Amino acid sequence: MDEIELRQATTADSDFAYRVKKLAFGSYVEQVWGWDEDEQRRLHEKRFASQQFRVIEWSDTDVGIIAAVREDDGLKINQLFVLPEYQGKGIGRACMKRIIDEAVASKSPIRLRVLKINFRAMAFFERLGFNRIGETDTHILMESLP
């Protein structure tokens, strides 16, 4: 999918990133913990300041976000959210393919976690070659080795 661009997010993208998270992921948060707007905004601001966010552009339109953190022993994907109206078009897959290619080039494993109730995301990452390596009360831990 050649129309996909991943550009480094700027502070001007913070509200967009929050909106994407709320629209794409809010129902899962609501089911597990309940959606507390103030708490979610606080968590977002903390994460946006400390993680490498990229805005996903498709055909010159901002359609999602991806956030990652480079750790000593690999890459951790913290968020991958695509606006609902753009889901199912291969955008998330194209983004992860680029991240996987970067990890393979640097011989780094990729780790992430998925809410246990988010069966669609678990299946998505399994199709991309991620394996389940553990779990918490709320999440399945997954990894892809280079």
Alpha-carbon distance 32 to 74, whole Å? 28
- In this predicted structure, the answer to whether residue 2 has a pLDDT above a threshold of 80 is no
**Could you tell me the end-to-end alpha-carbon distance of the chain, in angstroms, rounded to an integer?**
22
Model-level pTM? 0.89
Average pLDDT score over residue span 122-129: 95
- In this predicted structure, the answer to whether residue 52 has a pLDDT above a threshold of 80 is yes
Domains of the chain: 4-144 (3.40.630.30)
Higher pLDDT, 28 or 122: 122
Position 106 scores a pLDDT of: 87
Look at phi and psi of residue 124 and say left if phi exceeds 0, alpha if psi is from -120 to 50, else beta. Answer: alpha
- In this predicted structure, the answer to whether residue 86 has a pLDDT above a threshold of 70 is yes
Average pLDDT score over residue span 1-10: 86
Position 115 scores a pLDDT of: 93
Average pLDDT score over residue span 120-136: 95
Task: Identify the band that residue 1 occupies on the pLDDT scale cut at 50, 70 and 90.
Answer: low
> pLDDT digits over 18-44, tens only?
999 999 998 888 888 888 999 999 999
Indicate the burial class of 58 (C-beta count within 10 angstroms; 0-12, 13-18, 19 or more). Answer: buried
